A and B are shown apart, each in its own frame.
Chain A
């Protein structure tokens, strides 16, 4: 039992980060069909800016706010200076643009910050909580709670605000949205800004557990992408479910099957799921118009 709970929490904590990255992918994908491979860099910026702002003497909440602002500015700049000018290019071309952007952000981060690993202090102490014989870090609860709050906030925004409805309309049919007077350019910029903020918050929440460095973005982008696809891209519920599922897969594969091949087990399951459900767990079947 203790082992089960331990693995469960290990998987959920890692999975929550994947879920937030996947959610970022989904938002931008909905608005533009672009898979933004620079998504992991937002997580990196969240952690690194907070670390360096605290080193400069700012308190944690202010540092975190600054980090989110920096990430959002990066996201908006990415849209304005790279995605917007390439408007009309094929989706694959836009994906390469985001890959270029992630190399650029990482290249600048290694100069502006440094190449060392950094930690943040846990928000509410390091003393593990005992749950059914398992030891859970309080920070894990922050990560899970934070992820849940973000998902709920995003749902409220999408369902209850005019802007949110504009985003959904653009996602459903861009041309129709433009015809009813929605500024789709603004919607797309907004999608980049919100994705960046989500990524940055995720980065701040997990850095006390996972540590951070200028280079953590690549792996997160890869895992987040896999999670988004597993859930069914373009579906926020799918993104969260896919992220948590991937995290759990890795933890249980490491604990029960083979720690060497845990990533292999995770990707085998993804392949299997896609063979059986080619649109992912929650994806809808798209109809191709001829």
Chain B
């Protein structure tokens, strides 16, 4: 068994175990809702983790793609009479196409220039959602119809916990396979040095574009799921702060680590709920914790802890 396959089995195994254990240990609808939000955020963060960790590219506008997925799911049924699920598929397609279209010129930019270009893209999406009130409902948000499947109404936190968890499991499985594939190895090479990668015959531009599109599709799926699960979306879903939050999830969990993205998403989704304990100090404490994590586990939680464990084993 190759080390890649072993990691894959370990990550998916642990994820499956957690997915099964949470509803047994924390069965209330509130806990299941927070858990479902974790799975949704983790799905979006996974895509970004591929882009950032594998291709070494930062996107500060990733929530824009989430917004496209979420709003397509909300608007399709309202304006076009489409099925919500079909709308979500269309939204995902649209996000992928947009990424493909703007990907080429944007990805020519390097480092922080890429960051500001993606930031601009995210802001444009957010601005359209906020401004086109008759279509999108504007800043006050819009209701999303209930999902019906073969005459069944899909409601209840348990059901959505299951759906979002399954999607995350699939997304993680695909991401891990991608990481372990020839393309994935090429991408990792790219993270280290673009010129070196192109010298050994890797089509740098094409791979970057592929990962960018995949990341956009992951975010759009997460956005669509969020809309269906929440049955209400506001422009916040596409906002700048959401984009920053997604990046923070990936970095805190561990850049270049699929498991890290999931851990980061879980931490940043659950933490605000736990911090309500601190009342007005909750934001100060959140900021403090982010600094603390980054100073003491600078590679991120998952690689950082793995490193600590490995060192202990050696000692």
Residues of A within 8 A of B (CB): 35, 81-82, 85-86, 88-90, 92-94, 96-97, 99-108, 110-111, 218, 222, 225-226, 229-230, 233, 260-261, 263-264, 267-268, 270-271, 274-275, 278-280, 286, 288, 290
B119 within 8 A of A: yes
- List 11 interface pairs A-B (beta carbons < 8 Å), by A numbering: A86-B294, A92-B255, A93-B299, A97-B294, A100-B290, A103-B287, A104-B283, A233-B112, A261-B127, A264-B124, A264-B128
By DSSP majority rule, is chain B's interface helix, strand, loop, or mixed?
A: helix
Contact of B113 among A93, A104, A106, A279 (CB under 8 A): A279
- State whether B251 touches A222 (Cβ < 8 A): no
* Residues of B in contact with A (beta carbons under 8 Å apart): 52, 58, 105-106, 108-110, 112-113, 115-117, 119-121, 123-124, 127-128, 131, 193-196, 199, 240-241, 244, 247-248, 251-252, 255, 280-291, 294-295, 298-300
Indicate if the CB atoms of A85 and B284 lie closer than 8 Å.
Answer: no
Are B295 and A97 closer than 8 Å at their CB atoms? Answer: yes
Complex Cα gap A199–B113 (Å):
23
User: Do A226 and B119 form a contact, CB below 8 Å, given A102-B287, A278-B110?
Assistant: yes
Contact assessment for B109 and A274 in the assembled complex, using a CB-CB cutoff below 8 Å:
yes
Which of A96, A105, A222, A290 touches B290 (beta carbons < 8 Å)? A96
- With A107-B282, A110-B280 already in contact, the answer to whether A274 and B251 are too (CB < 8 A) is no
Q: Which A-B residue pairs are the 6 nearest by beta carbons?
A: A104-B287, A100-B290, A107-B283, A107-B284, A103-B287, A267-B120
A94-B294, A99-B290 given; 14 more Cβ-contact pairs under 8 Å: A82-B291, A85-B295, A86-B294, A92-B255, A97-B295, A100-B288, A111-B281, A230-B116, A233-B112, A263-B123, A267-B124, A288-B193, A288-B195, A290-B193
A97–B195 CB distance below 8 A:
no
Chain B contacts for A101, CB-based, 8 A: 287, 291
A111 to B280, CA, bound (A): 7
Roughly how many angstroms separate A82 CA and B296 CA in the complex, as a whole number?
10
- Least CB separation from B128: chain A residue: A264
Once the chains bind, are A96 and B252 in contact (CB under 8 Å)?
Answer: yes
C-alpha gap A7/B3 in the complex (Å): 62
Say whether chain A's binding surface is mostly helix, strand, loop, or mixed: helix
Q: Given the complex of chains A and B, what is the CA–CA distance between A82 and B127 in angstroms?
A: 34
**Separation in Å of the A215 CB from the closest CB of chain B?**
10
